[in-house]
A and B are shown apart, each in its own frame.
Chain A
Amino acid sequence: MTDATAATQAISGPPAIEAVGLGKRYRGDRWALRDCEFTVPAGRICGVVGANGAGKSTLLTLAARLIEPTEGELRVFGEASSTPETRARVACVTQEKPLYPSFTVAGTLRMGRELNPGWDEEAAQRVVDMGELRLDARVGSLSGGQRTRVALALALGKRADLLLLDEPMSDLDPLARHELMGVLMAEAAERGTTILVSSHILPELDGVMDHLLLVQAGRIRLSGDPEEILDSHQLLTGIAEGAELPAGTAVERRVRGRQVTALLRTGEPVDGPWESVRPSLEELLLAYLRTPLPPSATATAPDREAAA
């Protein structure tokens, strides 16, 4: 299959993920996620970004059907609940990377082969080989990064249409990160696989994601194409004294001595004694992350605005 057909194939059919009024409450009345509304079209590489404890893992675990929502729905390829068909189409690598420690690497791959009808031995084997893992090594004796590699090999061997990866690169060295991200992108290029990947390392997802979900305190703060989101923001730098920012558009405003820096939600450069530029992805995300949501704010309004 050529690149072009994989890309167009992904466009038809239901979105990979669609959240409607989604909420999850754990024991003790703590809402890990609340009022989440967003869509991730099929074929996207979606970065799930947020601070520790923001709800990223809860979101991915809900999508993997490992837990049930408390309210609302999370549709995966149009299905509101788990079916054998969707289970076969989804692969998940959680932070815990649950593998059998007494299995060897070869045994783990054999398990993948026997449990998954569409198993791709070559894809799984390649990921293992790239890490120069010994096939007869027990999983329990491997380092964290090596176990990550085995877990990713299992997920890729499954030939899923949706890959859910929770902080997959956190315990890998820079070379392994680059290699495995390359393997994931190649998979997406060839098969139009949708990938949801969470990370709190922002540069890791720059250039990789073409869809952004910014999760903040259990809400979806931003959702959409990162380029479009960046186009609809301006980063202003100017002299603080007498500075009047356009009303109602400031995401963040910081004063250092005489200088003021502000991130505004507007696509047009702002007139005035400013330098007004399009922010970088990191500047934009950091500004949002530094600014907590007001308690009354609903997460859905900026979401729609950004996604439009």
Chain B
Amino acid sequence: MAKILRVSYTVFLFFIVALASFAENENHDNSEMASEEESFDALGMIMHHISDSHYWHIISFEKKDGSHTEISLPLPVILLHDGTLSVFMSSEFHHGESVVKKGDSYFKLYHDKIYFTNSEGEIIKDEEGHPVNEKPLDFSITKNVASMWMSALIILGLFITAARKYKGSPSMPTGVQSFLEPLITFVRDDIVVEQLGEEKADKYMPYILTIFFFIWVNNLIGMVPVFPGGSNVSGNIAFTSILALFTLILTNINGSKTYWKHIFAPPGIPTPIKVMLVPIEIVSIFTKPFALMIRLFANITAGHIIILSLASLMFVMKTYYIAPLSVGLSLFMSMLELLVGLLQAYIFALLSALFIGMAVKEEH
């Protein structure tokens, strides 16, 4: 029974995180940067690569006659407008060139966002170049969502395979089990038991293990430069904010009497100082998960930006002589990012365990 609960809890976690990533964050419109056709728009390329998309880009190239060809996997678009749900593939947009008519509404894709338009597909812009058209509620399976489901399937596959081997009489770990067992015992002994203590560890093990492996696998998939990888899932603020929200909720619903007392009535402190201290303590309930959110988002996004900037050095400087530097530094940064991917998963799990541990601690 407990096992079924644990499995359904994990599935529920993935589901909520998946839903949350439907909400996309705003990205800036860099259309003015691309005005000169010859100059390479590094910022636009980088922003395109780190932001979410309705296509899963595979490869784009220029044919001999100069026409630009882009091969990408279309993804399902799910829109809620005027109480109706429209489901279609993003290939109907033809990379933003076509207007799609569903019911009485017309939609157009503009810089990876879907807008209501008139039948001509006009996008009206304000002085700063931002579109002012209304947006429908967008529940699409975007690149980030699809990539996250892929990593969820990878984790499920690995862990179910490993878990099956623990049935029956104990034997030497083999295969994927011998890879995962040290990692799981590391999370248990060095993160959960250390911060929460032996008796409370079992309750929070599933959560800490799940966020550790989910963040790590998503970080690693983000480092794969070719097709099924390369999406910036853990560098998406919606993704990290939901993970941080889980920590916030778990910390506060499990908070002991001591935890709340230390926030609202810190013992042994004179009243005038309490007046100053209590608001700070209340704010710090929210700043701790907020820092978790920003830390993961900023670290992973910064890593992607740096690697892409190094890769575009050659095109910005228009010389081959920079290539050794560009490739060497990219290699170095990629290696560093592999470490950072693990380190950030570890820090997220460790700090989550620490915050929960501080909250559940009883009076000593």
A binds B: no
